[in-house]
Amino acid sequence: MKLIVRRAGERPGDGTWVELRRAGDEFEVRIGERVYHLDRVETNGSIRSFLIDGDQHELSIRPEGEHSYVVSGSGGMEVVEVLDPLTHLAEQSRADAGSAAAHRVTAYMPGRVVAVLVQEGDQVIAGQGVVVLEAMKMENEIQAESSGIVERILVEAGQPVEGGDALFEIG
Amino acid sequence: MVASETRRFSKVLIANRGEIAVRIIRGLRELGIRAATIFSDADRRSLPVLLSDEAYPIGPAPSLESYLRAEAIVELALEIGADAIHPGYGFLAERAEFARQVEKAGLELIGPPSTAIAAMGSKLESRRLMIEAGVPVVPGGEGALADLDEATALAESIGYPLMLKASAGGGGKGMRLLREPGELAAAFRATRSEAAASFGDDSVYIEKYIERPRHVEIQVLADQHGTVVSLGERECSLQRRHQKVVEEAPSSVVSPELRARMGEAAVRAAQAVGYTNAGTVEFLLDPSGEFYFLEMNTRLQVEHPVTEMVTGIDLVRWQIAVAQGEPLAPELRSIEPRGHAFEVRLYAEDPFRGFVPSPGKIERLRLPEGPGVRNDCGVYEGDEVSIHYDPMLGKLIVWGRDRREALLRLRRALEEIRIEGIRTTVPLYRALVDDPDFVAGSLDIEMLDRKLGSGELEPAHVSQLADLPLIAAALEHGLRQARASATPAPAGGRRGHWREAGRHEALRGRR
């Protein structure tokens, strides 16, 4: 089985090929130039133990939607997206055509919108504050991740939001 | 002071939440006292409620409508027949008005008298009292300067370097560092006009500038019979934006002689305000060993466990004993630290994204165990971290025979711990235990912000093997798809490795 994986933050169209194969009780995995043989067991819930040449690695893996996985280990956590080759190809051609869709920014935690700092149609630069969100008694400025035009603002001041709710779109 | 008679509490109301409520419940239980807690609508399922003997709703989630309702809390304590109220830290703990209400109701506050809280709560008043009591304070800073002549004269008497500060400023605004006399005149004019423009108040004052200070604090304990003891220092220099994140005891730069001097100063500070119960006197310590009074925290501190670990003294137990009117035991007068302890505060915040809060569900919680490890934790696996309160989940505390052993133990415990579903400050501490300055114990109060700002402290990899998270996710996805296609066996469906693998894994997982 061939899949494409990419870390959160990598762009659509990017990614690394991974080839997975059963080899007896183990898995043979090719990633880039490297080949690993690993034993994988599930212990409780999301907990996985991997043995690679005798080295033990404990990770926790939780699916988040259809294609994303939150992987946690002793050093923290990261989100990994897994795509089948067809989906990846479709993404690549979209990216090549340059028709990048508007970039949508979501609330990373539940809270309340304190202020909206720009208007639809405004030009913003990467890093510019767009919405101020209050959570846990602290105000946090949600910034534009890329430069562009604010195409839509989806919230207004005073409104409560859940984590994952869309806040604004930059085209 | 009239020494009150010794009495026994049978029930205590805890006016707090989270890990400190849990800590107090434990202390009460060990003394056979019933533990009653209050909870907001957001905390009905919280760990303190689950552990308490009695629990009472106190209002909606926002603190102002629940944990800060002083009057309602005092009324509740009377209604349920509690003998005393333990305020913990934060919320109502340092509000003199609350202490007065408790006293007026004829209840005992497990803390100092309201008069001591009020005296230490005022910056000017406490500074004046400390000078009177012979406790060293940062030289200067005693009121607005009339003109440049007065500023020049005062600057000469204190000595450079100096800080020129706007009276109405704060949080680093309206401040100028002066290294030599030549800089004073221009800085005086500029700070004044800036202060007038920014704060509408042009009064400025000067204070001695303390270079690369450490934050070292002394734990004191005082009974109602006039005895005040020092239980030694805690080193709390690792702070981010003036909030402590890592503490240790003893401090690697405090000699027995300096400990004795700081202890004596702290005891004088407590005596000056008629203090009783547990309290902390905070000092700035400069590299030459001079120390200056910062403030007194008139409550139990978050970091009290490191003192407990190196002294063997249960501070909550003594807080209760003192509030019951018991005298301090004679052996408390000559406590020397034994071994070394660290505490790291576990915050639901992302340390590498400006410490933004990370509320949500704790999907997994594995706390470290084994020799020399203590967890003071206020949450459980499956718990929700609310947006309404301080994001501290709990504290991890370790003890070792010396600093080196304690550090190795801290590193080991941080490898064991897992808090998943939310982001926490654990990855920061994992980076910190390998930082040469932290390992060497050469700390100052700006070190952490400096190292985070410069990128010197960086998050560790999720796994030691960089490819593994990618591989693990790919395998998870592959097996998930295989399982999905294996479950409702379609007629003439494809039989492949992956379907078999999916079944195999499903069986293994169930074992």
Q: Name the closest residue on chain B to residue A43, using Cα atoms.
A: B509
Residue spans of the domains in chain A: they are 2-96, 103-170
CB-based contact A27 B364, cutoff 8 Å: no
> CATH classification of A2-96, choosing from 3.30.700.30, 1.10.3720.10, 1.10.510.10, 2.60.15.10?
3.30.700.30
The one catalytic residue in B192, B299, B374, B430 is: B299
Mean per-residue pLDDT for A76-102?
A: 76
Residues comprising chain A, all counted: 171
Higher pLDDT, B345 or A1: B345
Q: Is B484 on the interface with A (CB under 8 A)?
A: no
Round to whole Å and give the CA distance between A170 and A123: 9
Is the pLDDT at B495 greater than 80, yes or no?
no
Contact call for residues A18 and B470 (beta carbons, < 8 A): yes
Please report which helix (H) or strand (E) contains residue B206, including its range.
strand B204-208
Higher pLDDT, B272 or B461: B272
- Indicate the SS3 state at residue A3: strand
Tell me the residues of chain A between 116 and 135 that have a Cβ less than 8 Å away from chain B: 135
Higher pLDDT, A152 or B472: B472
Round to whole Å and give the CA distance between B392 and B390: 6
Q: Which of B460, B470, B497 sits opposite A75 (nearest CB)?
A: B460
CB-based contact B469 A27, cutoff 8 Å: no
pLDDT tens digits along B400-412? 999 999 999 999 9
Higher pLDDT, A100 or B223: B223
CB-based contact B387 A135, cutoff 8 Å: yes
Nearest to A72 by CA among B362, B318, B63: B362
**Residue B165, pLDDT score:** 86
Through-space distance between the first and last CA atoms of chain B, rounded to whole angstroms: 68
Task: Please check whether the two domains, B212-338 and B347-447, share a CATH topology.
Answer: yes
CB-based contact B472 A59, cutoff 8 Å: yes
Q: Name the closest residue on chain B to residue A3, using Cα atoms.
A: B474
Residues of chain B with C-beta less than 8 angstroms from the C-beta of A62: 363, 420-421
Is the pLDDT at B41 greater than 90, yes or no?
yes
What six digits make up the tokens of A73? 């280990």
Higher pLDDT, A57 or B143: A57
Round to whole Å and give the CA distance between B191 and B196: 8
- Give the list of residues 6+ apart from residue B502 with CB closer than 8 angstroms, or none: B479, B481, B482, B483, B484, B485, B486
Q: Is A171 on the interface with B (CB under 8 A)?
A: no
Cβ atoms < 10 Å from Cβ of B361: 13
Round to whole Å and give the CA distance between A21 and B478: 10
**Residue B504, pLDDT score:** 54
pLDDT tens digits along B288-316? 999 999 999 999 999 999 999 999 999 99
CB-based contact B463 A16, cutoff 8 Å: no
Q: Which of B356, B461, B474 sits opposite A3 (nearest CB)?
A: B474
CB-based contact A31 B467, cutoff 8 Å: yes
Q: Is A78 on the interface with B (CB under 8 A)?
A: yes
Fold of B347-447: D-amino Acid Aminotransferase; Chain A, domain 1 (3.30.470)
Q: Which of A76, A82, A136 sits opposite B474 (nearest CB)?
A: A82
Q: How far is B394 from chain A (nearest CA, A)?
A: 16
- Give the list of residues 6+ apart from residue B119 with CB closer than 8 angstroms, or none: B125, B126, B129, B273
Contact call for residues B166 and B201 (beta carbons, < 8 A): yes
Residues of chain A with C-beta less than 8 angstroms from the C-beta of B388: 136-137
Q: Which CATH superfamily is domain B212-338 in?
A: ATP-grasp fold, B domain (3.30.470.20)
> CATH classification of A103-170, choosing from 3.40.50.150, 2.40.50.100, 3.40.50.2020, 3.40.50.720?
2.40.50.100
Nearest to B367 by CA among B29, B15, B47: B47
What six digits make up the tokens of B222? 């005082």
Cβ atoms < 10 Å from Cβ of B241: 11
- On whether the B148-208 domain is CATH 3.30.70.20, my answer is no
CB-based contact B473 A42, cutoff 8 Å: no
Is the pLDDT at A67 greater than 70, yes or no?
yes
| Angle subtended by helix axes B123-132 and B256-272, to nearest 10 | 120
Nearest to B230 by CA among B214, B204, B250: B250
Q: Which of B357, B360, B501 sits opposite A138 (nearest CB)?
A: B357
Residues of chain B with C-beta less than 8 angstroms from the C-beta of A38: 471
Is the pLDDT at B318 greater than 90, yes or no?
yes
ipTM: 0.81
Mean per-residue pLDDT for A63-70?
A: 92
**Residue B142, pLDDT score:** 65
Q: Is B508 on the interface with A (CB under 8 A)?
A: yes
Q: How far is A109 from chain B (nearest CA, A)?
A: 7
Residue type, B115: T
Round to whole Å and give the CA distance between B190 and B176: 9
Contact call for residues B255 and B248 (beta carbons, < 8 A): no
> CATH classification of B11-110, choosing from 3.90.950.10, 3.40.50.970, 3.40.50.20, 3.40.30.10?
3.40.50.20
Tell me the residues of chain B between 404 and 463 that have a Cβ less than 8 Å away from chain A: 414-415, 418, 420-421, 423, 426-427, 430, 459-463
Whole-number mean pLDDT of chain B?
92
Residues of chain B with C-beta less than 8 angstroms from the C-beta of A78: 462, 469
Q: Name the closest residue on chain A to residue B504, using Cα atoms.
A: A25
Round to whole Å and give the CA distance between B97 and A139: 29
Known catalytic membership, residue B268: no
Query: Residue B418 pairs with which residues in a beta bridge?
Result: B366
Round to whole Å and give the CA distance between B255 and B247: 18
What six digits make up the tokens of A163? 């984590």
Cβ atoms < 10 Å from Cβ of A126: 11
Query: Residue A22 pairs with which residues in a beta bridge?
Result: A27
Of the pLDDT bands very low, low, confident and very high (cuts 50, 70, 90), residue B499 is low
Round to whole Å and give the CA distance between B263 and B219: 8
DSSP labels for A101-140? PPEEEE-SS-EEEEEE-S-TT-EE-TT-EEEEEEETTEEE
Nearest to B269 by CA among B196, B220, B304: B220
Task: Please check whether the two domains, A2-96 and A103-170, share a CATH topology.
Answer: no
| Angle subtended by helix axes B315-323 and B304-311, to nearest 10 | 100
Q: Is A7 on the interface with B (CB under 8 A)?
A: yes
Per the confidence metrics, is the pTM higher than 0.80?
A: yes
Residues of chain A with C-beta less than 8 angstroms from the C-beta of B462: 59, 71-73, 75-78
Nearest to B37 by CA among B5, B80, B96, B94: B80
Q: Name the closest residue on chain B to residue A136, using Cα atoms.
A: B387
Mean per-residue pLDDT for B259-281?
A: 98
Which strand ranges, in their side-by-side order, compose the sheet holding A123-124?
A103-106, A166-170, A148-153, A123-124
Q: Name the closest residue on chain B to residue A112, using Cα atoms.
A: B387
Tell me the residues of chain B between 168 and 207 that have a Cβ less than 8 Å away from chain A: none
Higher pLDDT, B200 or B92: B92
**Upper half-sphere CA count for residue A107 (Cβ side, 13 Å):** 27
Round to whole Å and give the CA distance between A121 and A106: 19
